[in-house]
Amino acid sequence: MLEWLRSRRSVRTFSAEPVAKDVLERILEGAISAPSNTNRQPWRFTVVRAAAMRAQIVEAVSRKTAEIKEIVARSHHAAEYGDYGDFFHEPLAAAQVIVIPQYREYPDLIANLIASGGGDRTQFTTASSMQAELCSTSMAIMTLLLQAHAEGLGACMMAGPIVAKAEIQALLGIAEPWRMVGAIAIGHPAGDSPVRGRKPMDRVVHWIEEDNR
């Protein structure tokens, strides 16, 4: 399992081969198998296969990215930003499928129960303080990526397209209480995807053992 997890990459270049619908259905099955807060399953996924709609999404992201680039060009950070914005739309443009994951928030049950008992809900940290629905949807995105990997497809989770959040939500009819969480580019991989290193375990894991209390 560990070897297989390590073999997953964010894939940003794809061939023109379409992705079969039954494969996509399995990928979405993978997504909705994720755990969620009180099993609320606070997620939804819009799967864009139609080329014309994909093109409109790419166009919206490119336009917003260009706007940002123009503004940044006037700042002293222009060189640092460089072509970074291209990572916001290029994988989408190459993808055969774009999935837009969405989540919605629910009332914070425990906080409301505290309030109904006369308590001060601000004195307690409950599910909303950890954005439990967003966490659940992130898990669904990960299981989607893993199932895509298992199917031999390439995929890339992307925050970049959020620059065109309003435009994409309007194009796809996504309205409150639903909120888009980035975009996922999917397709048959073309070319090599770089291996991104990981921070060493001792920088990110803190052990509390019996003998170092």
CA atoms within 13 A on the CB side of 93: 10
**What x-and-dash track marks residues 191-210 binding ligand FMN by CB under 6 A?**
-----x--------------
Query: Per CB under 6 A, which region of 4-12, 19-27, 47-55, 95-103 contacts ligand FMN?
Result: 4-12
Return the number of the residue (111 or 187) whose C-beta is nearest ligand FMN: 187
What is the distance between the alpha carbons of residues 120 and 115, in angstroms, rounded to a whole number?
A: 6
Residue from 57, 61, 132, 156 that binds ligand FMN (CB under 6 A)? 156
C-alpha dihedral (130, 183, 141, 82), degrees to nearest 10: -80
Mark out the alpha helices in the chain (DSSP H runs): 2-6, 21-32, 51-73, 78-81, 90-94, 109-116, 132-150, 165-172, 201-204
Which has the closest alpha carbon to 13: 87, 100, 101, 82? 87
- Name which of 10 and 126 has its Cβ closer to ligand FMN: 10
One character per residue 163-192, x = contact with ligand FMN (rule: CB under 6 A): -------------------x----------
159 counts as binding ligand FMN under rule CB under 6 A: yes
Q: Nearest-CA neighbor of 156 among 197, 194, 198?
A: 194
**Binding pattern to ligand FMN, positions 35-74, x when CB under 6 A?**
----------------------------------------
Q: Please give the residues from 85 up to 104 whose contact with ligand FMN meets the rule CB under 6 A.
A: 87-88, 91
Judged by beta carbon, residue 94 or residue 127, the one nearer ligand FMN is 94
| CA–CA gap between residue 100 and residue 188 (Å, rounded) | 18
Tokens describing residue 21: 């619908």
Site mask, ligand FMN, residues 6-35, x = CB under 6 A?
Answer: ---xx-x-----------------------
| DSSP secondary structure code for residue 121 in this structure | G
Q: Which is nearer to ligand FMN, 8 or 121 (CB)?
A: 8
Largest CA distance in the chain: 62
The residues that touch ligand FMN, with contacts defined as CB under 6 A, are 9-10, 12, 87-88, 91, 156-160, 182, 196
